[in-house]
A and B are shown apart, each in its own frame.
Chain A
């Protein structure tokens, strides 16, 4: 027990999370608008720093991206959202491209519009190079902000991490709730392309402090029925009058709220928050390496 506590402290010391306003650093990415977690650097050894020189974009790239951003915001954000995650128009940050995912497909859609929808033609208004800049910015919206300076302090083994992820007997139990390549449980979010969609620090934080940020689509609820039975599960749907949720064992429930004695949306994630204790430091980094390989 004492060992375990020491280890937890050790990991938390290594990954000392500090809260910063990410919006100041990266205004375009609103997923972490309110608060996000940055990580204080652990000392890197010289070799690692030489292997991974920080990639500074050229002034031209910076200017092109800024132009793309201005055009995106002025012309596209009304329907696709300031964050690109859609709304009236489709989400541009996920993997689903209804009209093709290549640059030329997206260019075509921007130039010609989509008939029978409110997606207008922009071909007569924008030059191809301008469209390319918009696409580059949209691609960026689909990526989590990366702080090139941040690395885990151990290089993990992605192969071992993969085994750990799917090992039903391991303490991690990841695949019980998460899928990768359609394998695994469907309680939590699928983790395909997670390395592109989320920053490394966000992923590490999600493992170590699972309740810090819960996607509204993966919130847990707890109800007390009129017979006094307490049930807890992942919310599938909620309206003003009813709640539908699925227990961890997959059992589905639907209740009218007025028939319940109590109803609450839990502030804690269904995901355990004790992986720092359950896994060895090596295991944690293997798992992390595996997740970071999912591009």
Chain B
């Protein structure tokens, strides 16, 4: 606690500037100086600097206390108004993160407290120091190399001047936001022979109290002390094996975990991965204090589940296919506190391409689930792709937005689904509002109903010509769908969702589906159409689903998006450029080559009153698969391991 306090104090401008650099120079000279005298002098200076720093820190602490007193007296809000996002260095430290902090994350512009920034996962920040007028001046201020290659998909957290990141292979770091210095490093000890369909990735931490939570590739959930990186607890996620016994080392059954957890009211909520291997999916909630499991919701029902919804769902699985039914939940969901509802996107059924061995709708695969976060009970579901046979792994973030249609305010949920449709639902009850294609879509029958979906229910009219065959059939979207897992952003000012799009088609084949425990269970394959994969960043009106602007790109767009009150949209491309787009027009206003392809989501925060932009950069994940056929120019795409931080020049 003392450590984090002193760090907090140092991060304040009036203390930090001047003193700390001197300290560093002094230390540097001290260690590497040529003469004994110089070293002596440096040591003396360092001591003076340290004393000064301590004195300044004490003074800062006193000032802070005085300020607190003052605030209590005047009843001023602790955080700046969202409308006036110019932060100052008087930002109140968050300290231990509690429910109130998480619920108020929207107005907390200095910090980034959860995966999607806010519970609605809009990835929108009220900061506007960096804006359309000055974004062209943006420069890197520091970088941090993790030394861990492979797909870098982390969405960092920033709390009180410290950034927390996770990397592939479950390393993690705390980094000083001011200097980019490492404060601690954690590495999970992982067993060999993990079943990882789509690279050894991780998408980031969740925070609660003084703890950080990371899901791991061997299907564990670990809790770390955010001040030291020490492991507080390590819980093995369990599942039942074929003999009906509860097993601990479920990575041997090809379960894994890559999701950034979501904390709701003291429960750490995660979804499992492994639907390329015939697992049976679930969403779990663990006690944030001790790591004990509070509840589990199976995304694929079992025979002995007595709940009404489960009995219904079981009917949608032919014979015993539910046993290996898939239904992963590997992207962080969202939460509406007012409705007390948790929303989660559920992935593809297993085997991916052979539907013959799993006849029926295969609930709740390729669906959006609404659950009660207190006990994991079912509220409603919407199945985007019943009986999917194209691996339209619909884990995409269900983003919560409030819109108005025909004069009626609607609590809506929007999702750019892998199946190529942009969906809008009523999040109170799951009612379908609209679904519009946002890329080339050929798997639905467009002659029936508007855009190939039943206008009342949203159920797709599947084109029989698009069903995979032994010889193969060309279907759009192809591999990874029309949009990968990487999150879109929503700007409440423009009313637009900014969607990173994959434009590609593939030849889908269906073949023998043979299940071998722990091994891939695809039921054949897909092959991207040669040289045809490309992408776009598209701005979609959340009220109508119409595309307002479209910026085509050479390669599929597979990085997350950030929208800001500066009228900007940030995202990266496969060739390594991080780009700032005009949120209104889509014009590119600034770009910077980060040295490896982008597959993570940029974030923004302030330190000492100044706005920063951060992004993890490292090509990998499954989307590296485009290089084989669809985008051969990405062959030998370099992996990366670098976190970049940008700011305007002083």
Residue numbers of A with Cβ under 8 A of B are 23-24, 27, 30-31, 33-34, 69-83, 85-88, 91, 113, 115, 118, 120-122, 125-126, 215-217, 237-241
Which residues on B sit within 8 Å (CB–CB) of A30? 507, 527, 529-530, 629
Does B526 belong to the interface (CB within 8 Å)? yes
CB-based contact B527/A83 at 8 Å: yes
A37 to chain B, nearest CB (A): 15
Question: Interface readout for B503-540 with A: 1 if CB under 8 Å, 0 if not?
Answer: 00001010111101111111111111111000000000
The size bracket of the interface on B is 35 or more
A67 to chain B, nearest CB (A): 9
User: Which stretch (B67-75, B189-197, B605-613) binds chain A?
Assistant: B189-197
Which residues on B sit within 8 Å (CB–CB) of A31? 530
Which residues on A sit within 8 Å (CB–CB) of B511? 69-70, 73-74
CB-based contact B554/A239 at 8 Å: yes
Does B626 belong to the interface (CB within 8 Å)? yes
CB-based contact B525/A73 at 8 Å: yes
User: Which stretch (B154-162, B306-314, B571-579) binds chain A?
Assistant: B571-579
Which residues on B sit within 8 Å (CB–CB) of A77? 522, 524-527
CB-based contact A239/B625 at 8 Å: no
Which residue of chain A lies nearest to B198 when distances are taken between CB atoms in the complex? A88
Assembled-state Cα–Cα distance A120/B624 (Å) = 18
Does B622 belong to the interface (CB within 8 Å)? yes
B637 to chain A, nearest CB (A): 10
Which residues on B sit within 8 Å (CB–CB) of A120? 193-195, 518-519
Assembled-state Cα–Cα distance A279/B111 (Å) = 71
B208 to chain A, nearest CB (A): 31
Does B245 belong to the interface (CB within 8 Å)? no
A-B contact pairs, 11 of them (CB 8 A): A33-B507, A70-B512, A74-B351, A74-B513, A81-B629, A86-B627, A87-B628, A118-B194, A118-B199, A239-B554, A240-B588
Knowing A23-B507, A82-B507, the reply to whether A217 touches B513 (Cβ < 8 A) is no
Among B193, B521, B577, B620, which residue has its beta carbon within 8 angstroms of that of A121?
B193
CB contact list, B474-511 vs A, under 8 A: 507, 509, 511
Assembled-state Cα–Cα distance A33/B483 (Å) = 24
Residue numbers of B with Cβ under 8 A of A are 192-200, 276, 351, 470-472, 507, 509, 511-514, 516-531, 553-554, 573, 575-577, 579, 588, 591, 620-622, 624-629, 632-633, 635
CB-based contact A74/B577 at 8 Å: no
Assembled-state Cα–Cα distance A241/B553 (Å) = 9
CB-based contact A82/B526 at 8 Å: yes
Among A74, A76, A86, A237, which residue has its beta carbon within 8 angstroms of that of B633?
A237
Among B198, B524, B629, which residue has its beta carbon within 8 angstroms of that of A85?
B629
Assembled-state Cα–Cα distance A31/B630 (Å) = 11
With most chain A CB atoms within 10 A of its CB, the pick from B195, B276, B509, B625 is B625
Among B471, B628, B633, which residue has its beta carbon within 8 angstroms of that of A91?
B628
B475 to chain A, nearest CB (A): 13
Among B351, B517, B521, B625, which residue has its beta carbon within 8 angstroms of that of A87?
B625
B462 to chain A, nearest CB (A): 22
CB-based contact B530/A34 at 8 Å: yes
B432 to chain A, nearest CB (A): 32
Which residues on A sit within 8 Å (CB–CB) of B621? 88
CB-based contact B624/A88 at 8 Å: yes
CB-based contact A88/B625 at 8 Å: yes
CB-based contact B573/A216 at 8 Å: no
Which residue of chain B lies nearest to A258 when distances are taken between CB atoms in the complex? B588
Knowing A27-B471, A81-B629, A87-B624, the reply to whether A240 touches B520 (Cβ < 8 A) is no
Which residues on B sit within 8 Å (CB–CB) of A113? 192-193
Assembled-state Cα–Cα distance A49/B553 (Å) = 52
B538 to chain A, nearest CB (A): 14
B577 to chain A, nearest CB (A): 6
Which residues on B sit within 8 Å (CB–CB) of A69? 511
What is the interface of chain B mostly: helix, strand, loop, or mixed?
loop
Closest 7 CB pairs of A and B: A87-B625, A82-B527, A87-B628, A77-B525, A81-B628, A239-B575, A216-B531
Which residues on B sit within 8 Å (CB–CB) of A78? 197, 276, 520, 522, 525
A84 to chain B, nearest CB (A): 8
Knowing A78-B276, A240-B553, the reply to whether A73 touches B519 (Cβ < 8 A) is no
Among A23, A80, A86, which residue has its beta carbon within 8 angstroms of that of B472?
A23
Given A79-B197, A118-B200, 5 new contacts (CB under 8 A): A33-B507, A69-B511, A77-B522, A77-B524, A86-B635
Among A76, A83, A239, which residue has its beta carbon within 8 angstroms of that of B573?
A239
Which residues on A sit within 8 Å (CB–CB) of B524? 70, 73-74, 77
A99 to chain B, nearest CB (A): 16
A63 to chain B, nearest CB (A): 13
Assembled-state Cα–Cα distance A33/B276 (Å) = 25
A198 to chain B, nearest CB (A): 14
CB-based contact A125/B519 at 8 Å: yes
Assembled-state Cα–Cα distance A88/B526 (Å) = 14
Assembled-state Cα–Cα distance A240/B576 (Å) = 10
Assembled-state Cα–Cα distance A87/B628 (Å) = 4
CB-based contact A239/B576 at 8 Å: yes
CB-based contact B573/A240 at 8 Å: yes
CB-based contact A23/B519 at 8 Å: no
Which residue of chain B lies nearest to A21 when distances are taken between CB atoms in the complex? B471
Knowing A83-B628, A88-B622, the reply to whether A122 touches B472 (Cβ < 8 A) is no
Assembled-state Cα–Cα distance A20/B574 (Å) = 34
CB-based contact A83/B198 at 8 Å: no
Assembled-state Cα–Cα distance A56/B576 (Å) = 49
CB-based contact A33/B527 at 8 Å: yes
Knowing A81-B628, A87-B624, A240-B575, the reply to whether A115 touches B192 (Cβ < 8 A) is yes
Assembled-state Cα–Cα distance A64/B593 (Å) = 49
Which residue of chain B lies nearest to A118 when distances are taken between CB atoms in the complex? B196
A213 to chain B, nearest CB (A): 9
Assembled-state Cα–Cα distance A82/B510 (Å) = 11
Which residues on A sit within 8 Å (CB–CB) of B632? 85, 215-217
Assembled-state Cα–Cα distance A72/B523 (Å) = 10
Knowing A23-B507, A83-B629, A86-B628, the reply to whether A240 touches B512 (Cβ < 8 A) is no
With most chain A CB atoms within 10 A of its CB, the pick from B514, B516, B521 is B516
With most chain B CB atoms within 10 A of its CB, the pick from A33, A71, A215, A237 is A33
Assembled-state Cα–Cα distance A73/B526 (Å) = 8
CB-based contact A125/B518 at 8 Å: yes
Knowing A79-B625, A216-B632, the reply to whether A74 touches B521 (Cβ < 8 A) is yes
B534 to chain A, nearest CB (A): 10
Which residue of chain A lies nearest to B353 when distances are taken between CB atoms in the complex? A73
B536 to chain A, nearest CB (A): 10
Assembled-state Cα–Cα distance A31/B522 (Å) = 22
Which residue of chain A lies nearest to B514 when distances are taken between CB atoms in the complex? A74
Assembled-state Cα–Cα distance A237/B577 (Å) = 14
B278 to chain A, nearest CB (A): 11
Which residue of chain A lies nearest to B527 when distances are taken between CB atoms in the complex? A82
Assembled-state Cα–Cα distance A77/B579 (Å) = 33
Assembled-state Cα–Cα distance A80/B525 (Å) = 10
Which residue of chain B lies nearest to A71 when distances are taken between CB atoms in the complex? B514
Assembled-state Cα–Cα distance A47/B194 (Å) = 58
A32 to chain B, nearest CB (A): 8
CB-based contact B635/A91 at 8 Å: yes
Which residues on A sit within 8 Å (CB–CB) of B519? 75, 120, 122, 125
Which residue of chain B lies nearest to A124 when distances are taken between CB atoms in the complex? B518
Assembled-state Cα–Cα distance A238/B591 (Å) = 15
Knowing A239-B554, A241-B591, the reply to whether A34 touches B529 (Cβ < 8 A) is yes
Which residues on B sit within 8 Å (CB–CB) of A118? 194, 196-197, 199-200
B171 to chain A, nearest CB (A): 13
B389 to chain A, nearest CB (A): 14
A86 to chain B, nearest CB (A): 5
Which residues on B sit within 8 Å (CB–CB) of A239? 554, 573, 575-577
